[in-house]
Structure 1
Amino acid sequence: MTTVRRRRSALALAASAVLCVAIAPAAVAAPTPTPTAVLPSGLYGTGDPTYDGVWRQSLALLAQDTVGVKPAGKAVDWLTGQQCAGGAFPSYRADATKPCDAKLPLDSNATAAAVQALAALGGQDATVKKSVDWLKSVQNADGGWGYNPGGASDANSTSIVIGALAASGGKPAETKSKGGKTAYDALLTFAQPCGGKDAGAFLFQPKMAGVVADSTAAAVLGAHGKGLVVTAGATDEKGTACEKATTIEAAAHNGAAYLATALAKTGHLNTPPMPGSTDPAEKPDHGNTADAVVALTAQGLGDQAKKPLEWLQQNSAAWAKESGPAAYAQLILAAHAAGADPKSFGGTDLVAGLNATGPAPEATEQAEAADEKKDDSGSGAGVWWLVGAFFAASVGVGILFSGRRKNQQ
């Protein structure tokens, strides 16, 4: 889910409060955009963090860890400092020195993303456990999760929570609601049958299509029990044929087949115009195209991921620069999944671009390796200097002893 998509979702939830009184109060309150102010030095990005502060921070840290970059300590501290006492993360809170306000909306997506990032970085077991316990406590009866606790389950939220459970060492298939349902039971309710509209795709919610490519890409990962970081799965021999699905595995195949078909013509997905826009034309959707590459690769449809990957390499640099850390992170995770080099992605160094959006990282694997090599070289030179000195001294002692023998003779 891109930053733009998260803002849309938050605004949609706020609008739903007016249009549908049946929605639980906890799910309808949207945070008020923060006025222009100096942002925390540990935060990635310069845009208003109201709707995506924790989200973009989590993706940035996760992407850095994936490519061997050790984030700045204050960047990690900023993220952990966003956690509320009960374990949940909001989308953003400006003053982390005060307890979370009771009216502050808690965000399952932000919480799940934070869990994945902190679990990957390590050393945050208590924070991770607290968040996972909270996520389990707000699981809906159908086995899924909503954007905010109390809201109806949706494919995106359910899928990213699956990723959080897996990243923290849990077993999503064994995490059941009070009604005895798992997240996979919920995901199957979003899967569309073959032959109709959006055949094989996962809808955002059964009665709300949403941005189908977005929810489908998320659900394919969730169906595989995967988080945001994946590697290539075993080749899917079924190709892109949609088949009757009664299991989560079959539904994942159909979802990936839907994405492959949607991408086949142009190599990219499209996004509808923003609400209120005067331009009715659809625009290329870089973020969901990147997510689709990850989903296709996880499903084992690497060949079908090549065209959208190439499109991203040729067309995503300006988008990432404009959109900020979450965009760079999505592209890095897509490159990682598909086996491309994120430091040379269509001529763009995505890692450098991401690093530049936040506090300077502490180190990278390459820098550490270079330092170790330098240390080893220095140590080696020192050892050989000592060996040489010892040899010279030994020769001197030998000559001395030899001279003594001659004198004695």
Structure 2
Amino acid sequence: MNVRRSAAVLATVVTVMAATPAVAAGPSPSPSTAIPDGLYGTADPTYDGVWRQSLALLAQDAAGVEPAGKAVTWLVGQQCADGAFAAFRADPAKACDAKVMVDTNSTAAAVQALANDGRGDAAVTRAVTWLKSIQNPDGGWGYSPGGASDANSTSVVIGALADAGVTVPNLQKDGKSPYDALRKLALPCDGGADAGAFAYQPDKKGRLAANADATAAAVLGLSGQSLPGSRQDDAEAPAKCAKPDPDDPEMALSLNGALWLAHAMAKTGHLTTALPGAKPQPDYGNTADAIVALSSLGLHDQAAKPLHWLETHSKSWAAQAGPAAYAQLVFVATTAKGADVHDFGGQNLVTLLNATGPTPKEIDEPQTAGPNEKAASDDNDGSLNVAWTVGGILLLAAIVGAVLITRSRKHGRRQ
């Protein structure tokens, strides 16, 4: 997700919050901060440590992989005593003070990861309490505590609260719910080409400008879903932007946003981004988010072309961007109809993601290094599968032979 932050972190927004650089960047320089044991990725974690760790754990959960214990322990250890998370704390043993810049996005992502994993319940409870305490009067959240509400932050917090068992519509501040905050950021159906899209925030004059990243986030937020989304049965897309139904306004607005995303990707199969003065480039991360949003509403026909584009073009981007990018692709592969997390454009996303950090329990052999991350290739994954298959056959033969020779009772041993 992209968020508008201060100039000090503007350069990190595209790759950190959205993991969506316009083009695959060159190899990252040596990080100025040592990479802690238990953290996924090898790039400097200063601005995205908690975010990328949370996405990695969420993606492993979505793919049916149990994360390594030390990966979960590292994430829990990043929490401040009041329940909030910062982007990264180099010295978690040192208590958080006013200089530690905690934020809603890191906190909400950590809640989602830990709530789904189940090994950080106490941390989830503290974080939810903190998020509730800083809810804005309009019902939403900004990136920083007390900051103006934005679509991205409000949506990721909604997903976190839902995963933690909170009934989101009932969570109100001054009579306003999180959904009320998102409704204020929806462009009306008479908004021309941008009808149904969502703005990140109103500008200084209160005007709304369509934002693809904010729209993808709001589509998930309004349907109460977290970052990985969820694969739904086929659903019919609305013919056009529709005014919200009083009985279910959230779904109508969510569908309007999804329809806008589908139109935005219909011609090229992807979203685009452009930094000031630069030529527009394909936006890999936001395209992934948009596919997850469409698929989570069952709009698989509209997601098909972007899915094919992403399968064909995302390999270099993900290898350069690291674990958060691989996680986004896993979310796509586990929500989009016809996608396979083990064969996404010829890549095994599970293998590649797992290889960027602590080895999950079910992977017993180290994987070879890949470009700029400890990513294993599909060939290595296949070799490991063959090795385990042959080893299993030989072991079985040995056991059978022992039974025949000794006539003893059956016995086995773990690999």
TM-score (norm 1): 0.81
Tell me which of 48, 66, 71 is aligned to 1:52.
48
User: In the TM superposition, what is the alpha-carbon distance from 1:283 to its structure 2 partner?
Assistant: 0.7
Aligned to 1:358, the other structure's residue is in SS state coil
Report the Cα distance in structure 1 between the residues aligned to 2:281 and 2:97, rounded to whole angstroms: 38
1:262–1:323 distance in 2 versus 1, CA, 3 Å: same
Aligned length: 361
1:343 partner amino acid:
H
Tell me which of 193, 209, 228 is aligned to 2:188.
193
Aligned to 1:284, the other structure's residue is in SS state strand
Report the Cα distance in structure 1 between the residues aligned to 2:51 and 2:42, rounded to whole angstroms: 14
Over residues 351-394 of structure 1, what are the superposed CA-to-partner deviations in whole Å (9 max), with x where a residue is unaligned? 22212221222226999xx89x969x96xx68x949x9489xxx
Report the Cα distance in structure 2 between the residues aligned to 1:35 and 1:238, rounded to whole angstroms: 45
Report the Cα distance in structure 1 between the residues aligned to 2:287 and 2:294, rounded to whole angstroms: 10
1:75–1:130 distance in 2 versus 1, CA, 3 Å: same
User: In the TM superposition, what is the alpha-carbon distance from 1:233 to its structure 2 partner?
Assistant: 3.0
Q: List runs of 5+ in structure 1 lacking aligned partners.
A: 16-33, 392-409
1:180 maps to: 175
1:131 maps to: 127
1:35–1:358 distance in 2 versus 1, CA, 3 Å: closer
User: In the TM superposition, what is the alpha-carbon distance from 1:193 to its structure 2 partner?
Assistant: 0.6
2:179 partner amino acid:
Y
Aligned to 2:282, the other structure's residue is in SS state strand
- The structure in which a higher percent of residues are helix is 1
1:253 maps to: 255
Report the Cα distance in structure 1 between the residues aligned to 2:99 and 2:328, rounded to whole angstroms: 31
Report the Cα distance in structure 1 between the residues aligned to 2:227 and 2:73, rounded to whole angstroms: 21
1:321 maps to: 319
Report the Cα distance in structure 2 between the residues aligned to 1:314 and 1:114, rounded to whole angstroms: 31
Question: Is the 8 Å Cα contact of residues 187 and 210 (structure 2) preserved in structure 1?
Answer: no
2:221 maps to: 222
Aligned to 1:128, the other structure's residue is in SS state helix
Q: Is 1:64 aligned to residue 60 of structure 2?
A: yes
1:346 maps to: 345
User: In the TM superposition, what is the alpha-carbon distance from 1:235 to its structure 2 partner?
Assistant: 3.9
Aligned to 1:190, the other structure's residue is in SS state coil
Which of these two proteins has the greater Rg computed from alpha carbons? Answer: 1
When structure 1 is superposed on structure 2, of 237-246 and 122-131 the one drifting more is 237-246
Identical amino acids, percent of aligned pairs: 55
Q: List runs of 5+ in structure 2 lacking aligned partners.
A: 12-29, 365-380, 410-415
1:212 maps to: 211
Aligned to 2:91, the other structure's residue is in SS state coil
Aligned to 2:244, the other structure's residue is in SS state coil
Tell me which of 99, 102, 109 is aligned to 1:106.
102
2:333 partner amino acid:
A
Q: Is 1:95 aligned to residue 91 of structure 2?
A: yes
Report the Cα distance in structure 2 between the residues aligned to 1:196 and 1:324, rounded to whole angstroms: 38
Report the Cα distance in structure 2 between the residues aligned to 1:210 and 1:45, rounded to whole angstroms: 34
Over residues 308-358 of structure 1, what are the superposed CA-to-partner deviations in whole Å (9 max), with x where a residue is unaligned? 010000000000011111111001101100141122111112222212221
User: In the TM superposition, what is the alpha-carbon distance from 1:101 to its structure 2 partner?
Assistant: 2.1
Report the Cα distance in structure 2 between the residues aligned to 1:163 and 1:97, rounded to whole angstroms: 29
1:287 maps to: 285
1:289–1:238 distance in 2 versus 1, CA, 3 Å: closer
Question: Is the 8 Å Cα contact of residues 240 and 256 (structure 1) preserved in structure 2?
Answer: no
1:358 partner amino acid:
G
Aligned to 2:85, the other structure's residue is in SS state coil
Question: Is the 8 Å Cα contact of residues 52 and 323 (structure 2) preserved in structure 1?
Answer: yes
2:377 maps to: none
2:265 maps to: 263
1:43 maps to: 39
1:24 maps to: none
Aligned to 1:260, the other structure's residue is in SS state helix
Over residues 280-308 of structure 1, what are the superposed CA-to-partner deviations in whole Å (9 max), with x where a residue is unaligned? 21110000000000100112211000110
Aligned to 1:181, the other structure's residue is in SS state coil
2:252 partner amino acid:
A
When structure 1 is superposed on structure 2, of 79-88 and 205-214 the one drifting more is 205-214
User: In the TM superposition, what is the alpha-carbon distance from 1:89 to its structure 2 partner?
Assistant: 0.4
User: In the TM superposition, what is the alpha-carbon distance from 1:69 to its structure 2 partner?
Assistant: 1.8
Report the Cα distance in structure 2 between the residues aligned to 1:13 and 1:187, rounded to whole angstroms: 25
Over residues 182-221 of structure 1, what are the superposed CA-to-partner deviations in whole Å (9 max), with x where a residue is unaligned? 1111110011111325210011113475771100000000
User: In the TM superposition, what is the alpha-carbon distance from 1:132 to its structure 2 partner?
Assistant: 0.7
User: In the TM superposition, what is the alpha-carbon distance from 1:123 to its structure 2 partner?
Assistant: 2.2
Report the Cα distance in structure 1 between the residues aligned to 2:408 and 2:67, rounded to whole angstroms: 45
When structure 1 is superposed on structure 2, of 206-215 and 257-266 the one drifting more is 206-215
1:146 maps to: 142
Aligned to 1:70, the other structure's residue is in SS state coil
Report the Cα distance in structure 1 between the residues aligned to 2:170 and 2:133, rounded to whole angstroms: 14
Report the Cα distance in structure 2 between the residues aligned to 1:313 and 1:38, rounded to whole angstroms: 33
2:77 maps to: 81
2:22 maps to: none
Q: Calculate the aligned-residue CA RMSD, in Å.
A: 3.1
1:85 partner amino acid:
A
Report the Cα distance in structure 2 between the residues aligned to 1:171 and 1:70, rounded to whole angstroms: 27
2:155 maps to: 159
Over residues 37-81 of structure 1, what are the superposed CA-to-partner deviations in whole Å (9 max), with x where a residue is unaligned? 321121111222222111011001110111122222221111111
Question: Runs (4+) of structure 1 moved beyond 6 Å?
Answer: 12-15
